[in-house]
Amino acid sequence: MNLSPRWRYQLILFGIGLLGVVIIFKIISYQTSAQAKVLLNGNDYNLTTIYPPRGEIYDRYGNLLAGNITIYEIGVDLNTIRVNKNAETIALALSVNAGLDYADEMKKIQEADPSKNYIVLKDYVPATDAEKAIAYKKTLVDQGIISGSSSLSGLAFKAHYERYYPEGSLASNLLGFVTQDNNGYFGIEQEYNSLLAGIPSIVWVPTNPTRAEEIPQVEPGTTLILTIDREIQSAMEDILADTLKESGSASGTVIVMNPRNGEILAMTSTPSLDPNNYLAYSKVFPESTPFNRAIGQAYEPGSVLKILTMATALDTGSVKPTTGFLDTGVIVVGGVPINNWDGGAWGSQDMLGCIQHSLNVCFAWIATQIGTQNFYAYMQRFGLGHTTGIDLAGEATGRLKLPGDSDWYPVDLGTNAFGQGVSVTPIQMVMAASAIANHGLMVQPHLVYATVEKGIQQTIKYQVAGNPITPQTAQVENEMLATSLEKEASLALIPGYRVAGKTGTAQIPVFGGYDPNMTNASFIGWGPADDPKFMVYIWLEKPKTSTWSSEVAAPVFKQIAEKLFVLLDIPPDQVRLQLAGQ
Amino acid sequence: MEKPVDRPMIKKLSKIFKNERQAPWRSQLQWIGLLLAGLLVVVLVASMYMIINTRTALAGREISFAKRDIINIQHQISDLQVQVASQLSTQSMQARAAAMGFVPAAPDEFLVIAVPGYTARSVVNLGNPAPLPAGPVILPEYTQSLFDWLVNRGQK
């Protein structure tokens, strides 16, 4: 067919015009399509919750006590699976690589709600398992198998964090644990849960890639640096475990605190749990077993409380170290006779002798000299009957009956003076005794040394909980407690070092009286006596090898103090004083 | 009254049409050229729009990938920290020391030596110290006179 040049030009013109029109039409259609409208309006967002990584917990020298590990949520995009018909392939791949059950996963996919686009097959899958499945999926993609029934298209892996404690059960009684819902239970994890967990952010994430910069950054939770020294903590746990084995005690508690500033250097009690395996909680802590006896269980401490009675008596001027007392073996307070621990009469004693021999009769007499009002006022000033405010969840109050209470009787003044009829937690005793070791200033025990947030380390200042006694009283009693241990030739003494301390053997109250066979053995001590760097509290519940604290708890103090002198770089007194004199 | 017909204009137009008829392709070429020029402009504008849009989308994607990488790296750091801590845990270190034949020293086996300049370990520092709280700031506008202000402006 021969076309005239005019027609040829017109045809070309028409063709080019048509092409132009098609291009313009396509541009307009793209720009006005539903997808483009969504993108242009920026309305296509996915609601996503971004959980910040939980703050880490370190000991005072930067050893990680609680961190986070990556685990995976494995899910499937149901729409993609319906298109590719690859449910069997996915279930098989997960069963082979990630250890999931083939039948279970198939059932979940087949019985999924048809209105849903995405379902979670399994969460909290360990990284080692999930990463095998991820690698297998990548292999298939590399081989070009990206769709169809033999592909893993639609299988999704979402990484997130889970709490992990690299030291296992070390310091678990004070750390607590975190469940899968990122909630802290017990100890530091519960007390500082809101700080550690950070603030989860529910955000609308735009699908429009040009708006990617709008996704907010979620700040991780606050990191905590504890006052704990990992080496001391580990040593205390080892010593306590050995002691429980040797003494046959039902349970044990050890606290090590710096009496100058209230920093807890170690705290342990039994039983303890590996927080990585917190599901065993109910098995390890049956019924109402306290998670941390050091703060959560009050008990009648017995003679260790005598140091507070003596401090009160000295501070009120009721007695002096040289004040004499004739011990006839019995004293009647409130119409009830009180005897010594051995039932014997110890004759003429001064106050040092009363402490050295731990004479109940003498201390009941001292309480009467102090007077009811003064005695209970001082006990309250020492913090008895109140929580210490330590930064741990689950602190118990203890019980200090006061005159006027329905269950208080005049005899309580006599028995309370030697630690009977009054219940305290070990941490309460440590706080109260810090006044004696710290020139009359009582410091609040605490576990968090500093917080780290947004790269800023904020050190937390220690708190003075009161000054129940004068520095002079503290010095006098400190000297009395050191001398009494020396005179007694206590098993707590350490060659080369002078320490101060007091034993406490307490009968255990049962319905209608006290258990005649079982005791609680306690010891409180500190060293070096002239410049205390540590204070130790030991409580052994129902020891079997001996019921006496001087025989079971005092040697443990010696063992602990020997370790502490090394770990805290404290030279023997002679060397230390020589160095100080240079 | 009718408007008089412009005879010279009619003659001029007749001449143009006569010319066109003599070489009609010239006019068609002009039209094609005009259309092509228009189309070229449209294509250029559309191309630029597409290029800019594509670059924006690519940059957005790169930001997304970078953020994903950041998150992945954070996960890796966290995992590695835990791995290192597990390797250096007291239990692990004690077991390693025991395997190498070390035993805990007895109290009488210690030798205390005074080392001049030795300082005890200090508590770890994992961040910068907190900045001191800033005191109240009074802007110079509230304290200077008009003359001071003019002098300052002049000096600046």
- Section A395-405 average pLDDT: 95
**Contacting B residues, span 72-111, partner chain A, CB-CB under 8 Å:** 72, 74-76, 78-79, 81-82, 84-86, 88-91, 94, 105, 107, 110
Give B80's contacts in chain A (Cβ within 8 Å).
Answer: none
Asked if residue A337 is part of any domain, the answer here is yes
- Section B14-19 average pLDDT: 63
Same domain? For A423 and A537 the reply is: yes
Q: Which comes out higher in pLDDT, residue A30 or A279? A: A279
Give A211's contacts in chain B (Cβ within 8 Å).
Answer: 60
Same domain? For A156 and A234 the reply is: no
Of A166, A197, A216, which one is at a domain's C-terminal end?
A166
The answer to pTM > 0.95 is no
Which tens digits make up the pLDDT trace of A285-319?
A: 998 899 999 999 999 999 999 999 999 999 999 99
What pLDDT, on a 0 to 100 scale, did the predictor assign at position A368?
96
| Listed range (A4-8, A140-144, A263-267) with the worst mean pLDDT | A4-8
What pLDDT, on a 0 to 100 scale, did the predictor assign at position A24?
87
Asked if residue A184 is part of any domain, the answer here is no
Which tens digits make up the pLDDT trace of A448-496?
A: 999 999 999 999 999 999 999 999 999 999 999 999 999 988 899 999 9
Same domain? For A310 and A456 the reply is: yes
Nearest CA to A234 out of A272, A291, A289, A196 is that of A272
CA distance B144 to B156: 16
Orientation of helix A426-437 relative to helix A306-316, angle to 10°? 40
- Which amino acid would we find at residue A301? P
Same domain? For A353 and A500 the reply is: yes
Give B91's contacts in chain A (Cβ within 8 Å).
Answer: 167-168, 170
Q: Is the pLDDT of residue A374 over 70?
A: yes
Which tens digits make up the pLDDT trace of A183-211?
A: 999 999 999 999 999 988 877 766 555 56
In chain A, the number of structural domains is 2
Same domain? For A150 and A250 the reply is: no
Same domain? For A444 and A559 the reply is: yes
CA angle B106, B111, B113 (to 5 degrees): 150
Q: Is the pLDDT of residue A38 over 60?
A: no
Asked if residue A196 is part of any domain, the answer here is no
Of A166, A200, A219, which one is at a domain's C-terminal end?
A166
Q: Across the interface, which of B61, B76, B107 has its CB nearest the CB of A562?
A: B107
Share of chain A above pLDDT 70, in %: 95
CA distances from A562 to A558, A565, B38 (A): 6, 5, 95
Asked if residue A260 is part of any domain, the answer here is yes
Same domain? For A155 and A260 the reply is: no
Asked if residue A27 is part of any domain, the answer here is no
Same domain? For A149 and A245 the reply is: no
What pLDDT, on a 0 to 100 scale, did the predictor assign at position A472?
97
Q: Which comes out higher in pLDDT, residue B30 or B93? A: B93
Asked if residue A89 is part of any domain, the answer here is yes
CA distance A66 to A168: 9
Asked if residue A179 is part of any domain, the answer here is no
What pLDDT, on a 0 to 100 scale, did the predictor assign at position A356?
95
Q: Across the interface, which of B43, B74, B81 has its CB nearest the CB of A67?
A: B81
What pLDDT, on a 0 to 100 scale, did the predictor assign at position A462?
92
Same domain? For A160 and A237 the reply is: no
Which tens digits make up the pLDDT trace of A134-154?
A: 999 999 999 988 888 889 988
pLDDT band, residue B116 (cuts 50/70/90): confident
Give A562's contacts in chain B (Cβ within 8 Å).
Answer: 107
Same domain? For A467 and A575 the reply is: yes
Q: Which comes out higher in pLDDT, residue A270 or B68? A: A270
Asked if residue A219 is part of any domain, the answer here is no
**Contacting A residues, span 422-461, partner chain B, CB-CB under 8 Å:** 449-450, 452-453, 455-459
**CB-based contact A224:A58 (threshold 8 Å):** yes
Which tens digits make up the pLDDT trace of A378-399?
A: 999 999 999 999 999 999 999 9
Q: Is cis: bond before A528, omega within 30 of 0?
A: yes
Whether B116 and chain A come into contact, CB under 8 Å, resolves to no
Q: Is the pLDDT of residue A213 over 60?
A: no
CA distance B81 to B63: 26
**Contacting B residues, span 22-81, partner chain A, CB-CB under 8 Å:** 24-25, 28-29, 31-32, 35-36, 39, 42-43, 46, 56-57, 59-61, 63-64, 67, 71-72, 74-76, 78-79, 81
Q: Which comes out higher in pLDDT, residue A222 or B107? A: A222
For residue A514, give the CATH number of its domain.
3.40.710.10
**Average pLDDT of chain A to the nearest whole number:** 91
Of A142, A166, A190, which one is at a domain's C-terminal end?
A166
Which tens digits make up the pLDDT trace of A313-363?
A: 999 999 999 999 999 999 999 999 999 988 899 999 999 999 999 999 999
Q: Is cis: bond before A271, omega within 30 of 0?
A: yes
Share of chain A above pLDDT 90, in %: 74
**Shortest Cα distance, chain A CAs vs residue B86, angstroms:** 5
The b/e string for A202-216 (b: 16+ C-beta within 10 A; e otherwise) is ebebbebbbbbeebe
pLDDT band, residue A248 (cuts 50/70/90): very high
CA distance A441 to A202: 48
Q: Is the pLDDT of residue A34 over 80?
A: no
- Section A414-429 average pLDDT: 96
User: Are A457 and B125 in contact (CB < 8 Å)?
Assistant: yes
Domain of A94?
69-166
Orientation of helix A360-370 relative to helix A306-316, angle to 10°? 40
Give B42's contacts in chain A (Cβ within 8 Å).
Answer: 20, 23-24
Give A210's contacts in chain B (Cβ within 8 Å).
Answer: 56-57, 59-60
Q: Which comes out higher in pLDDT, residue A413 or B127? A: A413
What pLDDT, on a 0 to 100 scale, did the predictor assign at position B10?
73
Same domain? For A114 and A241 the reply is: no
Same domain? For A248 and A385 the reply is: yes
For residue A153, give the CATH number of its domain.
3.30.70.2110
Q: Is the pLDDT of residue B18 over 70?
A: no
Q: Is the pLDDT of residue B1 over 60?
A: no
